[in-house]
Structure 1
Amino acid sequence: MLKNRLLLSISAGHFAVDVLNSVVPVLLAALAVPLALSNAQIGVALTIQIFAGALSQPLFGWLADRFKGRPAVLAATGVAWMAICLVGIVLVTNWPLIVTFVGLMALGSGLFHPVGTAGAAAAAPARAASATAIFFFSGQLGLSLGPLLGGVLLGAPGGAHLMLLLAALTVAPAALLFSAPRPAIPVGGVARAARATIQAGVAILAAFVVLVALRSSIQSVFMSFLPKLFADRGWDPAAYGAIAGTFMFTAAVGNIIAGDIADRYGMRAATIWPLLASVPAGLICLWSPSPVAAFVACGVAGLLIGGQHSVLVVHAQRLLPVRQGFAAGLILGFTFAAGGIGTALVGALADGIGLLTAMQGAVLLALPAAILALTLPGRPAVATAPVVAEA
């Protein structure tokens, strides 16, 4: 698996893409004072980022199903586009232009994610589940390191312009993708027809949709506003970048743990208990006056809130009888869009009731989400059939 050049190239690209994605909230938090930005303005910009990436993913997934031979070329284009847009965000000083570049940058992410998700499975069709897990872990690792790298760079002399160095470093993964080999089978030929079919009623499907929306909103709010919350408390960019990175790193680890729990005890167990436990952990993270306690609680909250992402994506894929790229675009697009709605609402509420109070409300969404998770499958009776090539 680790010798698979295509998989390694796509995973490296995912790491780079999500480093660039996660550095944007830190950069906007640093620009808040010189540009006199409100919480609502930052929330709108981040919502545009999320929605532009989310709503474009089904279209780009459909494109991936038709660009079967070289998915890595499309993925490389997404990485390069994001780097160019980050340069634009750094160099302009006009807020409407910054928001425009944030939205354009998200299109690169929207292109990369469905192409990369489908390409990872096509790179190792005999072990598609493991390949996809490596792909998602690489992205989560990028999400965790991006705020830390951004905070360190923004806290150094030269501040925002050092972000140009970060953009330049993405040349390496983009080059790897451009030179990557073709997949073992065409991307459009990867099917999930052999998976177990889930018969679900309308009420259960609706509960699942709301569950995904609530969980995604909690994670998105933490990713988007942790830097701003602690910047308002006087933390320097390196510190608030580090705590945001801690949240995303433990979320990456949580995906691995939750996946193992789901395989052993079912999706219900992997989702309900972590969501319930995330409430006290999330509140301690927000309330704690001690930086050490805040970091520890933030790490625990990330582990518990972010861990269900891959579990819910797998469950959603079983419900979608469509091609790999388009399915990936639909699933990820909805997840990110739902998170964008939550981010927008919290940003709007924060200017009226305070950012801390608004984020506390987001944490409490885990309670109804846990109730909705009762509709998820319990302990699996039989092993899921392996992914096979479409005839």
Structure 2
Amino acid sequence: MVRSVAFFGAITFIELFWIRHLHSGRGVAGVALACFLVGGVAGTLLGGRIADRVGMVRTVQLGGLAAVPALVALRLTPGTLLPLVFAVLAGLALNVPFAVLVKLGQDYLPGRPGTAAGVTLGLAVSIGGLIAPALGAAAQAYGPQGVFTILCAIPVLAVLLGLFLTEPEPSPGG
């Protein structure tokens, strides 16, 4: 859920951040959203490869750790073009744990794959969307840069929660 809040917050406000805070045109703001989403695709694919090498729990933790500096750099980098690099990196970092969290949920509940998918995909993704109006209130009060300041802190919570995860027990015969 925490990853989803950061992801939905970024896709909801990244264009406004570019237009109102970085003073770019709408075209560059649209490119920023595309860069973030392309990074997300790469992160989803990369997360599986990382998990195969270092384990699922470590991958979730690494994604959260990588998201913090990527979001901070996105928030603090001036200009309209250089921050695009950090939009890609933030999208990548936030999505490294995505597919891995789905697999972890299925491994934690091996006899209930539907429930696991409902929690990891349905509930978690929905919570991210449900929090977006609260971020909207923050945007009204502090501007889109205020939202991105909040988004910088959200992965810290993901990292802390990730410390409580354990690698699931191997299934019998698998």
User: Which TM-score bucket, shorter chain as reference?
Assistant: 0.7 to 0.9
1:289 aligns with 2:78: yes
Percentage of pairs with the same residue: 26
Q: CA deviation at 1:240?
A: 0.9
Counterpart mapping for 1:15-26 below 5 A = none
Report the CA distance shift for 1:299/1:383 in structure 2 as closer, same or farther (over 3 A).
Answer: farther
Q: CA deviation at 1:285?
A: 1.1
Q: In structure 1, what residue type is equivalent to 2:57?
A: R
Q: In structure 2, what residue type is equivalent to 1:338?
A: I
SS in 2 for 1:376: coil
> How far, CA to CA, are the matches of 2:9 and 2:170 in structure 1?
37
Give the structure with higher Rg (CA).
Answer: 1
Alignment-derived partner of residue 52 in structure 2: 263
Alignment-derived partner of residue 245 in structure 1: 34
Alignment-derived partner of residue 298 in structure 1: 87
Counterpart mapping for 1:238-387 below 5 A = 238-320=27-109, 321-322=111-112, 324=114, 328-378=117-167
- CA deviation string 1:70-117 (max 9, x = no partner): xxxxxxxxxxxxxxxxxxxxxxxxxxxxxxxxxxxxxxxxxxxxxxxx
How large is the Cα RMSD of the aligned pairs? 2.4
Contact 2:47/2:100 (8 A) holds in 1? yes
Q: CA deviation at 1:364?
A: 0.8
> How far, CA to CA, are the matches of 1:234 and 1:288 in structure 2?
13
> How far, CA to CA, are the matches of 1:300 and 1:350 in structure 2?
23
Q: In structure 2, what residue type is equivalent to 1:285?
A: L
- CA deviation string 1:9-28 (max 9, x = no partner): xxxxxxxxxxxxxxxxxxxx
Structure 1 unpaired stretches of 5+:
1-212, 387-391
Contact 1:268/1:375 (8 A) holds in 2? no
Q: TM-score, normalised by structure 2?
A: 0.86
Report the CA distance shift for 1:277/1:329 in structure 2 as closer, same or farther (over 3 A).
Answer: closer
> How far, CA to CA, are the matches of 1:319 and 1:274 in structure 2?
20
Q: In structure 2, what residue type is equivalent to 1:239?
A: V
Contact 1:217/1:339 (8 A) holds in 2? yes
Contact 1:271/1:373 (8 A) holds in 2? yes
> How far, CA to CA, are the matches of 1:331 and 1:272 in structure 2?
16
Counterpart mapping for 1:115-154 below 5 A = none
Q: Tell me how many residue pairs correspond in the alignment.
A: 172
Q: TM-score, normalised by structure 1?
A: 0.41
Q: CA deviation at 1:269?
A: 1.6
Higher relative contact order (CA 8 A, sep 6+): 2
Structure 2 unpaired stretches of 5+:
none
> How far, CA to CA, are the matches of 1:333 and 1:298 in structure 2?
25
